[in-house]
Amino acid sequence: MSDDAEPHLLFDRTGPGGAVAVVTLNRPERRNALSMEMMARMYDAWVEIDENPDIRAAVVTGAGGDFCSGMDLKAFAGGFEDDPWQQRMAADPDLHWKALLRHFKPNKPLIAAVEGFALAGGTEILQAHDIRVAGESAVFGITEVCRGLFPLGGSTVRLSRQIPYTLAAEYLL
């Protein structure tokens, strides 16, 4: 199990009859960087949102002033301890794509409430949302390209469909 006391993702419901799901990326000390636990819990949240008829929409946000800084590269570079989250990811190799909303998307409106950093995978998650609301502190970036990495979360396809092609090409190069 993770050493963190708090779950890496919080799921709550609000509004009349709990009609609005609130999904909070909850690793503020790591700027809500994606962990295996967070991705597994994200997929569970998407399934709950999709299958629960009482949920009409979902708001996705980050704890501590940042949305998501992408994959936790430090943790992934250090290897993985044998824990239930690693085992779950290994059992379903497509799980990380489902969590990032590339191979699965709930049939309900997803609304992103963005403050602070939304970088790399954080920006790629946003591209699957129906509505994005950004605070003044929001910073977006496809930072994989700065490290010589290919943005595998879908930016190469989705971004050019959502903003002018020339801007998308500039961000992706």
**Block means of pLDDT (10 residues each) for the chain, length 173 residues?**
76 97 98 95 98 98 97 75 81 91 93 96 90 95 70 62 68 63
- The topology under which CATH files domain 9-172 is 2-enoyl-CoA Hydratase; Chain A, domain 1 (3.90.226)
Q: Which residue from 131, 129, 134, 127 is spatially nearest to 162, judged by alpha carbons? A: 127
CA distance 83 to 104: 25
Catalytic position from the list 6, 29, 51, 124? 124
Query: Residues 6, 48, 115, 144: which is the catalytic one?
Result: 144
What residue ranges in the chain does DSSP mark as E strands?
9-14, 20-25, 57-62, 110-114, 117-119, 131-134, 139-141
How do the domains of the chain map onto residue ranges?
9-172
pLDDT score recorded for residue 148: 72
By C-alpha distance, which of 120, 105, 134 is closest to 42?
105
Evaluate whether 153 touches 98 at the Cβ level (below 8 Å).
Answer: no
